[in-house]
Chains A and B, each alone.
Chain A
């Protein structure tokens, strides 16, 4: 199998596994980590395309995604901490009554 195709298959599988994790797991922190997995899958596809085309734009985009992922986690973790203090659980079902 071609190197590019192999890496793109890995990227597709990672993205699908991350999406499955966000859908099926009940723990909020585990769901956040599965979202990080989605970011990583997209990064892998960008790096693969950048490598194949020999241009730097994909790699630049990966750097920008690093910052966005860090900003996302810096906002998400305090929110989860507040929710957990409020509800005393990390189970997503307990947050069903949150309405804005």
Chain B
């Protein structure tokens, strides 16, 4: 009972944060709304029994990505045209696309899903069981993603280097 209530609470908080992201004017407030959304999502993951994902959601998204974003906002605190006028000329097409997307995917969701054969008891998502599965079955994906991360680091350094040479 309490779990269902919490689930509804976190779902509502997630949607509220996402909606606030569209209407708030200052980028820093948008960042705070996004952090609230991510924390509510972490709550949902924890309620589903995926504690590892909930922890990493907070650590990586809120702790790393959003802190980086907040630093960038503080560096670039300019009151420019995008501060005075929040919305571009794509407002009406954007709302049409929004409604169409919700209608089409929502139609698919409302059709229901076939019952799964495996019982979801949550044992797969315990940290040790999950880590063993991760590093025995999906080690290739793990290594590929590490290569991507190295490429991203080299790319970021290259961007800074280009800037230095020009400066």
Which residues of A approach B to under 8 Å, CB–CB?
A: 3-10, 12-21, 23-30, 32-34, 36-37, 40, 43-44, 47-48, 50-57, 59-60, 62-64, 66-75, 77-82, 84-85, 88-94
Give the complex CA separation of A74 and B154 in angstroms.
10
Partner of B148, one of A14, A71, A80: A71
Q: What are the residues of chain A within 8 A of B130 when measuring CB–CB?
A: 56, 59
A19 to chain B, nearest CB (A): 6
B-chain residues with CB within 8 Å of residue A53 when the two chains form the complex = 116, 118, 120
B residues sitting closer than 8 Å to A (CB atoms) are: 4, 7-8, 11, 14-15, 18-19, 21-22, 27, 30-31, 34, 37-38, 41, 44-45, 48-50, 52-53, 56-57, 60-61, 64-65, 68-69, 72-73, 75-76, 78, 80-83, 85-88, 90-91, 93-95, 97-98, 101-102, 105-106, 109-110, 112-113, 116, 118-122, 124-125, 129-130, 133-134, 138, 141-142, 145-146, 148-149, 151-153, 155-156, 159-160, 162-163
Query: Is B34 a contact partner of A36 (Cβ separation < 8 A)?
Result: yes
CA distance A18 to B19 in the complex (A): 9
Task: List 17 extra interface pairs beyond A40-B37, A51-B125, CB under 8 A.
Answer: A5-B112, A13-B102, A16-B105, A17-B22, A19-B101, A40-B61, A48-B48, A50-B50, A50-B125, A52-B120, A53-B120, A54-B118, A64-B142, A67-B145, A70-B149, A74-B152, A85-B163
